Amino acid sequence: MFAVTATRIDPDNPLTGLTLGERPEPEVPDGWTTVTVRATALNHHDLWTLKGVGIREDRLPIVLGCDAAGLDEDGNEVIVHSVLGSGADETLDPRRSLLSEVYDGTFAERVVVPRRNLVPKPAALSFEEAACLPTAWLTAYRMLFDRAGLEPGSTVLVQGAGGGVATALITLGRAGGYRVWVTGRSEEKRARALALGADQVFESGARLPERVDAVMETVGQATWDHSLKALRPGGRIVVSGATSGAVPPADLNRVFFLQLSVMGSTMGTRDQLARLARFLEQTGARPVIDRVLPLTEAREGFAALHGGDVFGKVVFTLTP
């Protein structure tokens, strides 16, 4: 079968380890099943794998990709939950992994996953839209509706316009009844965030009209001080990832007046993925897709993500 594979690690030039070509058909363990992939979405996790983050060289070659939507063995339309673990909240299982870390991922014609990891795809969502949900959109859903502790009408600050999680936070926050403010370095991305539904946009680090109820923090070092200053007393910062570097030590003069919710992993549970899909079906909100490419042209999508030239999600498709 055709697949996109990580074959070497290079922290400085990650795309040199990207290989497109034929791979053996996957073996199916007991309790697992095969999904025929129709669409799969690109994440920073895939770039980090090529840089050697979270994976050892001896696990290569491995098929990349966490997200997928496709058909199960009975022809049902499904979404693949990419967290492999056990318990009521599989993200808390200390032995959990994601697809493409221990087991081959979704950038292939077929992917093998535990049966419990399949979620029905609502007919209202296209395969391309559904493929965006398991990583970035599920992370945003959990940040807003599980960890932030907000009521409708609350003001949320999203740090960093443009990425998959950020665009999901804007869309979900708007659909959930929040007032959404967004910061961004790029005037173009701030304008696109406004068009997407943000109530106000600001330059990175700008003084805000008032303090906010919660900050959605995925940037890290570059925005952390601003996140602390922007938060009202008793407000909450929800942290999931740090694309600009590790979060520095907090200012202890402020830390006593905030609630900090650090997500131990991105994404959420299988049940939350099912609820997210239903939420989109009911509200009409849809993922922001930057571009759709055939999987055979995956290198173009990786190059765009690596260069920061993306607003929303890059999706790869496979023909039936």
Q: Rounded to 5 degrees, what angle do the CA atoms 180, 183, 189 make?
A: 100
Q: First and final CA of the chain: distance in angstroms?
A: 13
247 vs 50 pLDDT, higher one: 50
- Please report the pLDDT score of residue 245 as a whole number: 46
The amino acid that residue 176 corresponds to is: G
User: Coil, strand or helix: which one is 44?
Assistant: helix
Ranking 4-13, 40-49, 230-239 by mean pLDDT, the lowest is: 230-239
251 vs 37 pLDDT, higher one: 37
- Please report the pLDDT score of residue 171 as a whole number: 97
Q: Are 296 and 275 in contact (CB under 8 A)?
A: no
Mean pLDDT score of the chain = 91
- Please report the pLDDT score of residue 262 as a whole number: 59
- Please report the pLDDT score of residue 241 as a whole number: 60
pLDDT greater than 80 at residue 165: yes
Q: Could you tell me what percent of the chain has a pLDDT over 70?
A: 92
The pLDDT tens digits for 222-248 are 778 898 899 998 899 998 864 444 555
- Please report the pLDDT score of residue 222 as a whole number: 77
Six token digits for residue 122:
């609502």
Chain-centroid distance, C-alpha 226: 23
* Model confidence, pTM: 0.91
Burial class (CB in 10 A: 0-12, 13-18, 19+), 278: middle
- Please report the pLDDT score of residue 263 as a whole number: 60
The pLDDT tens digits for 195-226 are 999 999 999 999 999 999 999 998 767 778 89
- Please report the pLDDT score of residue 160 as a whole number: 86
Residues 6+ apart with CB under 8 A from 30: none
- What is the pLDDT averaged over residues 74-100? 92
- What is the pLDDT averaged over residues 137-147? 94
- What is the pLDDT averaged over residues 175-187? 95
Query: How far apart, in whole angstroms, are the C-alpha atoms of residue 113 and residue 28?
Result: 8
> Is the preceding omega at residue 114 within 30 degrees of 0, hence cis?
no
Instruction: Please name the residue that has the structure tokens 């190059």.
Output: 303
Query: How far apart, in whole angstroms, are the C-alpha atoms of residue 25 and residue 1?
Result: 6
Residue 207, Cβ neighbours under 10 Å: how many? Answer: 9
- Please report the pLDDT score of residue 256 as a whole number: 42
Six token digits for residue 302:
């990786």
Instruction: Please name the residue that has the structure tokens 């804007």.
Output: 170
- What is the pLDDT averaged over residues 157-171? 92
- Please report the pLDDT score of residue 258 as a whole number: 54
pLDDT greater than 80 at residue 249: no
Query: How far apart, in whole angstroms, are the C-alpha atoms of residue 154 and residue 198?
Result: 13
